[in-house]
Amino acid sequence: MGVLGKIIVRFMPVAPKFLVKRIASRYVAGYDLESAINLMKKMSVEDTSFTIDVLGEEINGIEEARYFVEEYLRVLDSIVSNQIDANISLKPTALGLLIDKDEAISNIEQIIKKAALNDIFVRLDMEDHRVTQDTIDVVLIMQEKGYQNIGTVLQGRLFRTKKDIIDISKKLGPLSDFRICKGIYLESEDIAFTNYQDIVDSTNECIESMLEMGCYTAIASHDLPIINHSLDKLKQMNMSVENDTRKNSGSPRKGKGPGYEFQFLLGVRGNLRRKLSSEGHFTRVYVPYGTKWYEYGVRRIRENPDIAWHVTKTIIMPWTNRR
C-alpha cells in the first residue's frame, strides 16, 4: 500500500489538473459555503456531526486574513440558520500567525467570540513545527479571556506532544480539549518520529494520556491500529458511549460526545465511520471547502502516500469506500 502510494506521489507534479480535481472532489465539499451546507444536510441522516474548514493556509500579507475572518463569520451564521450540527476549524497561519501574532490573535478572537455567542466550538488546526507553540499559546490566551469554546490539535508524531498534553492539562484541567492525529506534516527526525510504527505507538500513548487526564479526546485517525487501540482503552476505562464515567473530566458540552469522539476526513473510510456510529460512538466528519481545493488535494497526497492509496482505491473500486 505504501509503495503504491509513493509511486502515485511521484507522478503528482505532472498530473493533469482535471485529474487532481476529480480526486479532490471526493475530499472537498465544493468551492463555496453553500456546497458545504448542502453536503452536510445530506450526510446528516448518517448520524454524524461535522467540522467546517475554509481551505487556505499561510498568507503573504496580513490584509489577506480579512477574507478568512469574514468567511468564518458567514460560516457561523449558516450553521445557526441551517441548524447544522457542526463546529469550525481554523488554520492560524491563514489568520496571520506567522506575520503579526497580535493581529492574528485579534482575528481569531473575533471568530471565537461570535462562535461562543452561538455555543459553537472552535478548533485551532495544528500546522508545521514553526507554529506549534504559538498555536498552543493562542488557545491558552483565549481561555484566559474566558472563551471556553476552544481547543487545539496535537500531532502524535512530534516528540514534544506528550509533554504538551501534560502542560496544557495542568493549566486548563477539564477544559482541555484536543484533536489528536498522527500529523500530516513530515517533520525532521530531530523533532518527530518518522517510522510508521513509532508514529502509531506515540499517537496511541497520547490518546491514553488524554483520556486518563480527563481531557476531551477527539481521535482523528483512519488507521485501524489506532482506532482499535482507542476502543480497547475506552473499554478498559469503562467509558460508556452514553456517559463519560471519568471523575476528572468536565461537564458534557453541546455538540460533543461523552468525553471522546472519532473523526474522519470527508471521503475517507466512510464505512468504518458508519460502523462506529451504529455502535453508539460519536463521530465527526471534517468538511473542507473553498477555492484552494487544488492545493489541498495535492498537499494531502504528497505529504501522506496512504491518502494516495485511498484515492486510487476509490477510483478503481468505488464500491469499497462510500463517502
Neighbours of 17 (CB within 10 A): 11
Q: Which residues pair with 87 in a beta bridge?
A: 51
- Give yes or no: 157 in active site: no
- Give yes or no: 125 in active site: yes
Q: What is the DSSP letter of 28?
A: S
Give the contacts of 105 (CB within 8 A, at least 6 positions apart): 138, 141
* Catalytic member of 125, 177, 244, 306: 125
Query: For residues 52 and 14, is the Cβ–Cβ distance under 8 A?
Result: no
State the Cα torsion 314-316-319-320 to the nearest 10°: -60
Q: Which amino acid is at 23?
A: I
Name which of 149, 162, 181, 159 is nearest 253 in CA terms. 149
Sign of CA dihedral 244, 45, 286, 263: positive
Using the structure block, give the residue that is written with the C-alpha cell 487556505: 56
Angle between helices 305-316 and 2-10 (to 10 degrees): 90
* Catalytic member of 179, 269, 273, 284: 179
- Known catalytic residues are 125, 179
